Amino acid sequence: MAALNHNNNNKTMAETDFSLKETCPKIGGGRSIPGGEMLTPSFDLVERMSFLYIRVVKARALPCNDSFIEVIIGNYRGRTKNTAIPNPNPEFHEVFAFNSDRLQGDVLEVAVKMKNEEIVGKCRFEVVEIPTRVPPDSPLAPQWYRLEDRNGNKFGGEVMLSVWTGTQADEVFPEAWHSDSVTVNGENGAIARSKVYLSPRLWYLRVNVIEAQDLVPLQANRTNPEVLVKGFVGNVVVRSRTSQTRTLSPVWNEDMMFVAVEPFEDSLILTLEEKLGPKEECLGKCEIKLSQVERRVLPGPVPALWYNLERVGDSGFAGRIHLRVSLDGGYHVLDESIQYSSDYRASAKLLWTPAIGVLEVGVISASGLMPMKSRDGRGTTDAYCVAKYGQKWVRTRTIVDTFSPKWNEQYTWEVYDPYTVITVAVFDNMHLLVPGNANGPQDSRIGKIRIRLSTLETERIYTHSYPLIVLKPDGVKKMGEIQLAVRFSCTSTIDMLQKYSEPLLPEMHYLTPLSIYQLESLRHQATHILCMKLGRAEPPLGRDVIEYMLDFGSNIWSLRRGRANFERLVSFFTSLVDSWVWFDSVCKWKKPVITILTHFIFLFVVFLPKYCVTSLLLYCFLIGFYRYHLRPRHPPHMDIKLSKADSALPDELDEEFDVFPSAKSADLVKKRYDRLRGIAGRMMMVLGDLATQGERVKNLLSWRDPRATFLFSMFCLVACGVIFLVSMKLLMTLLAFYVMRHPRLRVFDIPSVPQNFFRRLPSRADSML
């Protein structure tokens, strides 16, 4: 049954189009558009959308104290928040935006209502009479309008508002209530708006724990305690190893690494813990404010200081600890995978270089989205888009209840390195109907794409429809397509080309490198801090969104990714293997003309070596020039065949999506463990063979095999004399002609003398248990 389902999935995937498509949206900056209006150049990567804006400022002289304002056009209704304090002169300061393409009436009505929905007064506007405003014009000044009662008579009440027709280029667009979000109530409307977020600047905090002295044990008779150090920054805990000297003056000389966030309001708390069997007892603690810690941008010396330890509870003296503490701003805090990083700058602004360009992305629309949830008995999707590059995150507004949302929002980033990646993902908003619930359901993932800037031509606008692909436990699925317009503009070509000669990471990563374990731990800390900080914004970015954008957990074992990476490695060596096969065919004279031509080329290389390198370089130049018109025209996108997502078995996907540690049954875990042992066993054999070959090379002169070393030494002596007496060009010619000799002069399938000699050399495999 599983095999049948897998075959059905493969058939479905074969029918699905996962390709990248070039599109022709109606975009363009500064060009005329119907109606005589123009879209501002800052929004030239999106299609023009016309909106009817109503800014409601305040009201006065109302006959009631508990009122709100409702804006009505056709079937669309938007209302302000209720006034918190009863007031006949309430203030609202809210903006409503109605999509002009979906207007269902010719009259705009602004009504003042009481809490019991009774109309106090209203005013009307003919849509065709509403003026048009195009930025950078100044905002339209609000005016007072007299209200009419039910009978059409004006009374003393007035409302201050302004009404105009504009585009998404209006400065009020991000903060406005949109008719696309008509199912969102006023209290939860903020979570549907577009927003720009900035990641906090992160620093590495290095704590070098040297030693402790004069510790006061909890029990007087314990003079050889096992002591370790615990460090706390916020709610992150890092432990040191247990001291090797079991005395009251333990020594560690160990680095503990943390991630700290500006403006360094937290404190570093260190506690010394004594191990008492399975329990740990605190011997003392000290607190260091991060704002007082030395900051450095180069790996210079940090002074070692003594800090007093206090007992927990009575604040008595508990000893002292010797530390070197520094905030290292010379590192780049890796919150993303190094392969997909969008920024490589150091934490300290002092080390930042000027920007080399500007990246502009127009999030136009999506199409063919799958239903992600059920509402009123039917499938629906409330989609929004998130893009991240560098420290800047952007979130589009949520388009409610449509499978083809149109955002048409444009964003800009400064670029400091071309070898960076922008990540764009689409989510389904699950919080619209759960106002104020921070622990509500997670937003569903619709798909994600990555675009590496170095693959883009400068000043060219790329307009493509990217497939949104998600890998699920039941297989890979196409969830729809997203249409983007991307432009990478370069401010200085010289500076950009110079970047290709500079180190990828700041210098401190190379002068004082961090271990893989430290980098992995610090990345977890950085992700946790970003989730906390961005989760406190309004609207918040959820942990699930941030972890998906940062590829958190991508280092978990996956048989599918292992096979994909192995095939990538094989494809790299394929060219070398093909070259060897071609040379073997030359040596066997399968095509005599090519073999004879190879002889002449070799003679040219041997007797005219000074032209060899220049000819090779010229050949590379001509090949590169010839392939210019064959260059890729499209940016790269997610490839399901390269990822082996189309051929992954259900059991492999079930293992990949298993939590860590595993929550599966013991029998299933045992089965997967046995499979992993088989894969690791084959890898172990390959590593063993490579180690054997390397040890054989070392044993050529080690006298481990005295006869083999004697033969190799005599060969070296004789070869030295021959080379001294005979021309090197003649020797190389004779060697090449011997290797490429005619098949009648060779015996096939018999290893050569050097191969036989090398295979007989000893290795340390004999000493392995």
**What is residue 453's predicted lDDT score, i.e. its pLDDT?**
93
Please give the structure tokens belonging to residue 79: 């209302």
Question: Where do the domains of the chain lie?
Answer: 50-182, 202-328, 350-550, 559-767
The tokens 């390397």 sit on which residue?
694
For 128, 154, 165, the CA distances from 96, given in Å and listed in that order, are 18, 25, 11
Q: Which residues contact 146 (CB under 8 A, 6 or more apart)?
A: 123, 154, 155, 157, 158
CATH pick for 50-182 out of 3.30.1330.10, 2.60.40.150, 3.40.1410.10, 2.30.110.10: 2.60.40.150
**Secondary-structure percent of the chain, ordered helix, strand, coil, rounded to 5:** 30, 30, 40
- Over range 122-148, report the average pLDDT: 88
171: which DSSP letter? T
Please give the structure tokens belonging to residue 248: 């009251």
**What is residue 37's predicted lDDT score, i.e. its pLDDT?**
45
Give the rounded percent of residues in the chain with a pLDDT score beyond 70: 93
**What is residue 35's predicted lDDT score, i.e. its pLDDT?**
40
421 by DSSP, 3-state: which? strand
Cα(259)–Cα(257) distance, integer angstroms: 7
Asked whether the predicted pLDDT for residue 7 surpasses 60, the reply is no
pTM over 0.75: yes
- Over range 119-133, report the average pLDDT: 89
**What is residue 6's predicted lDDT score, i.e. its pLDDT?**
52
H or E element: which one contains 417? Answer: none
CATH 2.60.40.150 corresponds to the domain 202-328: yes
**What is residue 354's predicted lDDT score, i.e. its pLDDT?**
92
Asked whether the predicted pLDDT for residue 222 surpasses 60, the reply is yes
Q: Do the two domains 50-182 and 202-328 of this chain adopt the same fold?
A: yes
Asked whether the predicted pLDDT for residue 461 surpasses 70, the reply is yes
**What is residue 65's predicted lDDT score, i.e. its pLDDT?**
81
Cα(305)–Cα(325) distance, integer angstroms: 9
Of the two residues 136 and 597, the one the predictor is more confident about is: 597
Gap between the terminal Cα atoms of the chain = 44
Asked whether the predicted pLDDT for residue 748 surpasses 70, the reply is no
Of the two residues 36 and 284, the one the predictor is more confident about is: 284
SS3 string, 192-221, reads HCCEEEECCCEEEEEEEEEEEECCCCCCCC
**What is residue 363's predicted lDDT score, i.e. its pLDDT?**
95
Cα(143)–Cα(261) distance, integer angstroms: 46
Cβ atoms of 483 and 295 closer than 8 Å = no
Q: Which of 2-11, 119-128, 611-620 shows the lowest mean pLDDT across its residues?
A: 2-11
Closest CA to 369 of 481, 467, 485: 481
**Which segments of 362-512 does DSSP mark as H helices, in order?**
493-499, 508-511
**pLDDT band of 437, cuts 50, 70, 90:** low
- Over range 379-391, report the average pLDDT: 93
Mean pLDDT of the chain, nearest integer: 85
Superfamily of domain 350-550: C2 domain (2.60.40.150)
Question: For 630, how many CA atoms within 13 A lie in the half-sphere containing its CB?
Answer: 5
Please give the structure tokens belonging to residue 725: 């007496």
In this structure, the strands spanning 227-233 and 236-239 are: antiparallel
- Over range 574-593, report the average pLDDT: 81
**What is residue 4's predicted lDDT score, i.e. its pLDDT?**
45
**What is residue 36's predicted lDDT score, i.e. its pLDDT?**
40
Asked whether the predicted pLDDT for residue 231 surpasses 90, the reply is yes
Asked whether the predicted pLDDT for residue 62 surpasses 50, the reply is yes
Asked whether the predicted pLDDT for residue 388 surpasses 90, the reply is yes
**What is residue 188's predicted lDDT score, i.e. its pLDDT?**
63
**What is residue 31's predicted lDDT score, i.e. its pLDDT?**
39
Taking residue 700's Cβ as centre, other Cβ atoms within 10 Å add up to 18
